[in-house]
Amino acid sequence: MTMTPAIKIEQVTKDFGALKALKGIDLSIEQGEFFALLGPNGAGKSTLINLLAGLLRPSSGKLSVMGHDVVSQYAQARQLLGVVPQELVFDPFFNVREMLRFQAGYFGRGPENDAWVDEVIESLGLTDKAHVNMRRLSGGMKRRALIAQALAHKPPVIVLDEPTAGVDVELRQTMWAFIQRLNREGHTIILTTHYLEEAEVLCSRVAMMKSGQIVALDTTANLLKQIPGKQLRVTMAPGSVLPVGIAALVRHRDGDVYTFTLNDVAQVADVLAELRQSQLTFTDMQLLEADLEDVFVDMVGRA
């Protein structure tokens, strides 16, 4: 008996007039996964999230949450989903705890859910703000309250849309500790982010989007393997011209900083020998491991 996927997206397109925001997305996310959706602005990540949340309708194709179609079974699908939005949207009339209880009630949770609401408040460092009116919170605290709001009804599937954009380090750590715990307890987490190091540390699988399509879909480990060996970053003296032999190995140049992609460590010695023979001076040198950022640049190109 196979488990129902947490999210199933089949041949989904979305057009806004002449603009094709999504051009046929197929994606299945299993229950309990920690999944990253990466891509530059305008790649279609937010459109996809808005379709899942039922805020938009697909032009064609189907989306379901835990087996419930987001169009024909909107209420059930929406109840199973918690979305942390990018924008700070909140009801100014409630204090934090009231808002969370109201949100949980809206999704059919009664007083039996209050202990969970308290746990969310505590886990996100909102305890001393629980009775403060939403409109009197600082930006950082509002952000915490919105994360809490998405989790108030204890949804099995949690979507975090750029959750740490403009968030202080302390909140980032508090939030990730809590989200990782929820994932260990079986919640499915979907993260869209620009912070690739977050995705690398947290997520087991990654989809990379570009211009409304998925251009890569694999485990984080496999994607990292696609980048050859090492990266050597050398800062040259201004005005240096690299010898032809090694210029071919340059993967990226930023002013006088050259990044070489090397298949093995032995090549590092070759590059340095060439530089010495050409009597070129360099002021700094670093050997780097590949990371998702490299894969991203490779697949998606400079956005």
Q: How confident is the model at residue 303 (pLDDT cuts 50, 70, 90)?
A: very low
CA geometry: angle 231, 232, 233, nearest 5 deg: 115
Taking the domains of the chain in order of start, what are their residue ranges?
Answer: 7-224, 228-290
- What's the CA dihedral at 81, 224, 42, 260 to 10 degrees? 160
String of DSSP letters for 178-214: HHHHHHHTT-EEEEEES-HHHHHHH-SEEEEEETTEE
**Residue 36 contacts residue 205 (beta carbons within 8 Å):** yes
- pLDDT tens for residues 31-49? 999 999 988 888 999 999 9
- pLDDT tens for residues 157-208? 999 988 777 677 888 888 889 999 999 999 999 998 877 778 888 999 999 9
Note the pLDDT of residue 252: 80
Query: Rounded to an integer, what distance in angstroms lies between the CA atom of residue 110 and that of residue 107?
Result: 9
Helix/strand/coil for 87 = coil
Looking at the chain, the whole-number percentage of residues with pLDDT higher than 90 is 50
**Residue 33 contacts residue 180 (beta carbons within 8 Å):** no
State the chain's mean pLDDT as an integer: 88
Q: Write down the CATH superfamily of domain 7-224.
A: P-loop containing nucleotide triphosphate hydrolases (3.40.50.300)
